[in-house]
Amino acid sequence: MPRRYWLMKCEPAAYTIEQLARDGTCGWEGVRNYQARNFMRDDMQVGDGVLFYASNADPSGVTGLAEIARAGYPDPFAWKKGHKYFDAASTPDKPIWYTVDLKYVATFPGIVPLEQLKETPGLDQMMVVRKGSRLSVQPVTKAEYDIVVKLGKRAKPAA
C-alpha cells in the first residue's frame, strides 16, 4: 500500500504546528463532516504524510508537516456529555465520528500562504485553492505534497 498524502486544516485558535511540535502527537478529534470522516475512517494509514494547514489565520496557509500516527478510530469526544463535540447519536456500539492521531514531523521556517499555493504551477488542482472549499480533511497527490514541502523549506519567517 503506497503512502498517501493529506491536507488537514485547523484554526490557530484551536491548535497549531508549534503546539504539535511540543506535544509530539495529537488527536484530531472534533471533525463533524461525513466526507472528512470517511477519509479518516477508511483511507488514512499509519505513516501517511500530512500538510498541516492553518485556516482562518493571518495569512492562512501550510505551516508544517505531520504524519498519521494512528489510523481511524471512533472519536471518543462524541460520547462526552456536555462537551462541544458531543453527539448523542454516536454510541460506542455504533460510532458515527472517527478521528486519527498525528505525529509531528516538521515546522516550516515560515508559512506557505494560500495565495502562494494558488499561484504555484502544479497546485491548481488542489482542493484547498478552489473557491469555497470548506472540507477540513483533503487528499493531496504526492506531486502536490512534494511541491508544498519544497515551498515550505524555502518559506521566509514572518517579519
Contacts with DNA by CB under 7 A lie at: 9, 11, 32-35, 55-57, 59-60, 114-115, 128, 130-136
- Residue 121 CB, shortest distance to DNA, in Å, is 18
Cα separation, 145 vs 48, whole angstroms = 11
Q: Of the two residues 99 and 136, which places its CB atom closer to DNA in the complex?
A: 136
Cα separation, 125 vs 53, whole angstroms = 17
Helices within the chain (DSSP H only) = 17-23, 34-38, 114-119, 142-154
* Residue reference for cell 456536555: 82
- Residue 50 CB, shortest distance to DNA, in Å, is 15
Dihedral of CA atoms 106, 49, 92, 24 in degrees, nearest 10, equals -20
Q: What is the DSSP letter of 120?
A: S
Q: Of the two residues 16 and 60, which places its CB atom closer to DNA in the complex?
A: 60
Q: Of the two residues 24 and 125, which places its CB atom closer to DNA in the complex?
A: 125
- Residue 2 CB, shortest distance to DNA, in Å, is 26
Q: Of the two residues 106 and 114, which places its CB atom closer to DNA in the complex?
A: 114
- Residue 57 CB, shortest distance to DNA, in Å, is 6
Q: Of the two residues 19 and 33, which places its CB atom closer to DNA in the complex?
A: 33
- Residue 4 CB, shortest distance to DNA, in Å, is 20
Cβ contact 64:17 at 8 Å: yes
